[in-house]
Amino acid sequence: MSDVRFDFVKCHGSGNDFPLIDARGIALSDGEWAKVARALADRRGPVGGDGLLLLGQGAGDAAFSMRMFNADGSEAETCLNGLRCVARMGFEALGIDAARVSLKTSEAEAVRDADLAPGVYTVRETAGPAGLDVAAWPLEAGAERIVDAPVPPLGSDRRFTAVAMPNPHLVAFVDRVDEAELVAVGEACEAAPAWLPNRANVSFVEVRGEQALFVRTFERGVGLTDSCGSAMAASSFAACLTGRLGYDAPITVFNAGGLVRATVGRDAMVSLSGNATWEWWGSIEVDLARARAGDLTVEAHADAEIAAWAALADAASR
């Protein structure tokens, strides 16, 4: 098999954008899906995105499953911005409005929520518990957990909190985000050094008011991104764990792509409520041998949804 045509939806969660495929009836190997991800997520190609989302069959008590491949073809444990989009497709396919969703290494709950703003399709997802055992990453830094402390092998004076959500995150609270520094730290982790062989996501976080955060993330396998859902969840948990914000109280989490609402329980479960916005949909041909995409057909644009989200994002930026 070389050339394969896929129907897909171009969507985004809080500005984190993806092509999304209903893969329940498609039989491809993991290596082939990695090539599809590289082809469709390539910003120089006809689609572009932060990665590829797949809606898969459910098993056990999970109504459906989700897979997320990063733009470089690596598979992430989860993607909470993407999960909302997959949940929407699953809800619409099955005629339901709540589901347990199977992820690569865990499960999450998703439910249709009240719209964040008129016309903004909203899903609430609950994932966790957040983990603090860095040996499971693995992260070799001479400690079983890192909470508001330096990571000696990183060579940075910043204090980090290491959180698995369930993918690995290093979270640093800063007075003001320095993107050049964030990229430098992110690239050091992206190089997969011996002490961090599976890499990690890195976030710089500003506390804004009593129950608000601004999160900027260098995402593993992607780079600097407008939004990362699991990073927002990890940052919210880290803020509560270190006493910067309160447990069991609504948190507004801003990012370069917009915002989500978060709540962190004392049981380390984190809920995010955010958009799952369709932008356009169509079909495309992928040459699996070369991991190249072409012959794009755009069937329609979701103009009303795009406008509704733009209005919310503009208000959040102010």
Helix (H) or strand (E) holding 289: none
Residue whose entry in the numeric block shows the structure tokens 């958009």: 275
Q: How far apart are CA 304 and CA 253, in angstroms?
A: 24
Catalytic annotation present for 79: yes
Q: How far apart are CA 260 and CA 116, in angstroms?
A: 9
Contact (Cβ atoms closer than 8 angstroms) between residue 216 and residue 204: yes
Contacts of 247 (CB under 8 A, 6+ apart): 240, 264, 265, 266
**Catalytic residue chosen out of the listed positions 11, 79, 85, 189:** 79
Phi, psi of 188 (to 5 degrees): -65, -40
Catalytic annotation present for 11: no
Residue 226 in tokens: 């407008």
**Catalytic residue chosen out of the listed positions 11, 85, 189, 228:** 228
Contact (Cβ atoms closer than 8 angstroms) between residue 119 and residue 174: no
Catalytic residues, by residue number, are 79, 228
